[in-house]
Amino acid sequence: GAGVSQSPSNKVTEKGKDVELRCDPISGHTALYWYRQSLGQGLEFLIYFQGNSAPDKSGLPSDRFSAERTGGSVSTLTIQRTQQEDSAVYLCASSPRPGAGSPLHFGNGTRLTVT
C-alpha cells in the first residue's frame, strides 16, 4: 500500500516568506508526527496528532510554527516569516495507533532551504 507522502520534496524560499508543508499519512493511521532534522543533528520532535485529541505542540520551536490536521488525515505544517535557521529536512510520520509500541512510518521529507 501507499506510504506516507510529503510535498513538496524540496522548497527554497526567501527569508521572511511563509511556507506550507503537506503530509498525507498512511490510510487508517490515527497518529501523525512532524519531526525535523537540521544538518548534523538528530530528529527533533515538533508536534503530534492523535485522532480528535488536542495535539501535543510541545516541540514547536516558536510561534512562527503551526500545524493542523484536517479530518484526521492530511496535515499541513506552516512556518511563517521563515528564518535561515529554519532550513532543515521536515519529516512527517504516522503510526496505526498511539504509543511507543507502534513504530513510526516516515515520509521522504521536505527539504526546506531558506535563503
84 phi and psi, to 5 degrees?
-60, -30
27 contributes a contact to other proteins by CB under 8 A? no
99 contributes a contact to other proteins by CB under 8 A? yes
Stretch that binds other proteins, among 14-22, 68-76, 80-88, 103-111 (CB under 8 A): 103-111
- The rounded Cα 45 to chain-centroid distance in angstroms is 9
Count of residues near other proteins by CB under 8 A: 28
Cell reading at 27: 490510510
Select from 34, 35, 69, 77 the one that contacts other proteins (CB under 8 A): 35
108 contributes a contact to other proteins by CB under 8 A? yes
Question: At CA 50, angle to CA 30 and CA 62, rounded to 5?
Answer: 130
List, as one string, the DSSP characters of 35-84.
EEE-TT--EEEEEEEETTSPPB-TT--STTEEEEEGGGS-EEEEE-S--G
106 contributes a contact to other proteins by CB under 8 A? yes
Select from 11, 13, 45, 74 the one that contacts other proteins (CB under 8 A): 45
Cell reading at 96: 496505526
Binding site for other proteins (CB under 8 A): 4, 31, 33, 35, 40-45, 48, 50, 56, 58-59, 91, 93, 98-101, 103-109
